[in-house]
Amino acid sequence: MENMMTETPDNTNNRPVSLKQLAEELGFHTSSVRKAVVRRGFTPFRLSEDKNKPLFLRCEDAELFKHQIENERNNSVVSGISISPSRISGVYFIEVPSYEGTIRVKIGWSDNLSDRLSTYRTIIPDLRIKAVWQTTDAWCERAALKCAERKGRRVHQELFEFEDIESVLMELTDLFSKMGMENKHHELLRNTQHTNAPDALTRAGDF
């Protein structure tokens, strides 16, 4: 008598993918990946009703999301960016005078630019904000830092020294422009002044 063997289907490939896993794979900040997912039309969910449990995407949605992000990074898809004066996230480019009289530049990403810039201004009152590129995608910081490392000397983490600051600013402006992101500093400044928002952006138009 022949042994009848039945194969059970492998559902591993159909398992939902956590947003934490997506953030790690794509280089997103964990605090911004949910916004990036929702912004692109996907609906994350929890495996239980507990609000403290992690969020997931269906396997097929996760693959579509990753594919869309890859396309955006290859400039195949350029999305518009709306302006909101509250809780703006993005990449910043700030001139920071040093005690030695040299001008250094701080480049980084924050999910709340107003709070971050306000903190910096408390420490360094005479800093000068040269550019803000609004984006919820933290991986843009890595692109900016890679460009900065190629053009100058890294002093510490986000802090750099350049022989020609304006040329670096122009190169980053061109880089982000290709991704559909323009320097929004002046526009953000006008919006926050219009709403009388007492944050760092309203005090940063000094260049």
Indicate whether 101 and 196 sit together in one domain: yes
pLDDT reported for residue 5 = 44
Residues 175 and 130 reside in one and the same domain: yes
Determine the structural domain holding residue 20 and report its residue range. Answer: 15-73
Domain count, the chain: 2
**Cβ neighbours of residue 105 under 8 Å, at least 6 residues apart?**
93, 94, 95, 96, 130, 148, 152, 159, 160, 161, 162, 165, 168
Q: Where do runs of H (alpha helix) occur along 13-153?
A: 19-26, 33-39, 59-73, 113-123, 139-151
Provide the pLDDT confidence category of residue 187 given band limits of 50, 70 and 90: low
| Rounded-to-integer distance, Cα 146 and Cα 140, Å | 10
Check residue 186 and give its pLDDT. 56
For residue 79, being part of any structural domain is answered with no
- Same domain assignment for residues 185 and 108: yes
Residues 104-161: tens digit of each pLDDT: 899 998 888 888 888 888 778 888 889 998 888 878 888 899 889 988 998 888 889 9
Show the DSSP H helices in 83-195 as ranges.
113-123, 139-151, 165-178, 185-194
Write the pLDDT tens digit of every residue in 57-79. Answer: 999 889 888 887 776 655 433 33
Inform me whether the pLDDT recorded for 50 exceeds 70: yes
Q: How many residues does the chain have?
A: 207
Question: Do 98 and 193 share a domain, yes or no?
Answer: yes
Give the CATH number for residue 51: 1.10.1660.10
For residue 2, count CB atoms less than 10 angstroms from its CB and return exposed for 0-12, middle for 13-18, buried for 19 or more.
exposed
